[in-house]
A and B are shown apart, each in its own frame.
Chain A
Amino acid sequence: MTTATQTSVTTQVYRVYIKATSEAIWDAITDPEWTQRYGFGGRVEYDLRPGGAYRVPTTDEMKKAGAKMGFETPDIMIDGEVIEADPPHKLVQTWRMLMDPETTAEGFTRLTYEIVEGKGGVSKLTLIHDVEGAPKVAALSSGQMEDVGAGGGWSWVLSDLKSLLETGHVLQS
């Protein structure tokens, strides 16, 4: 078995086709007015240049949910750094989940968004999450922790994003 294949085991690939322009999808990923409306919500803060900061402050909803389950939530739920920003085509960044001590300890993972506009106003969004050395993040991202209330991972986030861009509504929770 080659090394390339072994490393690829820790890569997750998600793809969704959305009837929207690549600009609309780029905005939905990078603009807090959009990001607060789908998935986990939260108003992202992006400094869209190499080395720029990425942060998602913890939402009130998350704080309440945390308090209910008896743990204190940090002020920032996700952080990272922008590696490459080529709007509206490609965004590469690091990503660390701070809501959980174990995912925090696993450190920064690598996230790549690729947007390709195709025919008929339909764009292809591919999300690649390199979760090498981060099994807890891998479980979270692939939705294995959905039944404990941690959300359905990237599939759920992308399905919600598609719904929002195509219909103006998110999925009912």
Chain B
Amino acid sequence: MTDDDHVFRALADPTRRFLLDLLYERDGRTLTQLESELEMTRFGVMKHLRVLEDAGLVVTRRSGREKLHFLNPVPIRLIHDRWIDKYTERRVSALVELKHELEKEDTA
């Protein structure tokens, strides 16, 4: 699997997206804190976190005796920059401008 495959596979699961949402709200949480937000066994949460870590979407760091989980947005940015930016941004911005122009005329 390529790096992108890992990212897409990790994002394809609602529980894993929920874990990322939790970290987006408040970063640097322990397994116990994440687990308390889910109706799932500790082992199940660990498995999901492992998939997210393998995809680079979660990075763990030690703080004293605790292992903290951080959301790493860079892999998603890389996908954005490689595909969305390169191929669609100009077209999208042209469409957005057109929409603005048309709406301006509507109200004029």
Contact = CB atoms under 8 A, between A and B. Distances in A.
Contacts of A128: 61
Interface string B16-35: 00000000001111100100
B73 A171 contact: no
A159 B70 contact: no
A15 B27 contact: no
Interface string A1-37: 0101100110111111100000000000000000000
Residue of B27, B77, B85 ringed by the most chain A CB atoms within 10 A: B77
Given A9-B26, A15-B56, A4 B64 contact: yes
Contacts of B54: none
B48 to A, nearest CB: 19
Contacts of B66: 2, 4-5
Contact of A9 (B3, B28, B86): B28
B81 A163 contact: yes
Contacts of A12: 27, 70
A155 B77 contact: yes
Interface string A91-118: 0000000000000000000000000000
Contacts of A14: 72-74
A158 interface: yes
Interface residues of A, number: 27
Contacts of A162: 78
Contacts of B33: 5
B78 A16 contact: yes
Interface string A120-137: 000000101000000000
Contact of A8 (B27, B77, B86): B27
B11 interface: no
Contacts of A59: none
Contact of A158 (B28, B30, B74, B86): B74
B63 interface: yes
A159 B74 contact: yes
Contacts of A143: 73, 77
A156 interface: yes
Given A9-B28, A11-B27, A159 B59 contact: no
A171 B59 CA distance: 25
Contacts of B51: none
Interface of B: 3, 26-30, 33, 56, 59, 61, 63-64, 66, 68, 70-74, 76-78, 81, 85-86
